[in-house]
Structure 1
Amino acid sequence: MTQSPIFSGVVYILLGSLFTYFAIQNVNETGWGFFSYLLVSLATFDFGSGIRMVLFHFKLKNNQNKK
């Protein structure tokens, strides 16, 4: 059984939100350090992948409806 792109997209967006939360907490406690930048970059990649997966789902659904 394969996962739908919408499910993967939502998981990526949730992970991006979680990494953003941890980055905010880390910056408030210790300031901008290597770990803060790492968390922000992980959140950025996750949000980008999540949005791409959600858009891909709607593109697939639109192509299936045209056939």
Structure 2
Amino acid sequence: MKSPLFWGIVYLFMAISFVYFAIQQRGRTGEWDLFTIVLMAIAAYDLLVAVRYFTFKPKVEKK
């Protein structure tokens, strides 16, 4: 199994990617449509998971 730091970076990269795609979608349509909101919700979830992995890392290192 990979370290929590690795997975935290992966989820952080995914969150940044989804935010980028949401910004591109909003620029293309000119408004906040359902797809843009779904992309931002996925990005928020990925960011939450990344933060959890980053806070889990010190706990794993203690053991």
The alignment's TM-score, normalised by the length of structure 2, stands at 0.91
**Counterpart Cα distance in 1 of 2:58 and 2:27:** 38
Task: Give structure 2 stretches of 5+ with no counterpart.
Answer: none
Task: Give structure 1 stretches of 5+ with no counterpart.
Answer: none
Aligned ranges 1:1-67 → 2 under 5 Å = 2-30=1-29, 31-61=31-61, 63-64=62-63
Please tell me the residue identity of whatever aligns with 2:52.
R
User: Which structure would you say has the larger Rg?
Assistant: 1
User: How far does the alpha carbon of each residue in 1:16-38 deviate from its partner, in whole angstroms, 9 at most, with x for none?
Assistant: 00000000111111121110001
Please tell me the residue identity of whatever aligns with 2:8.
G
| 3-state SS, counterpart of residue 2 of structure 2 | coil
Q: What displacement does 1:3 show?
A: 1.1
RMSD, matched Cα: 0.9
Q: What displacement does 1:59 show?
A: 2.3
**Matched positions, count:** 62
Q: Percent identity?
A: 34
Please tell me the residue identity of whatever aligns with 1:3.
K
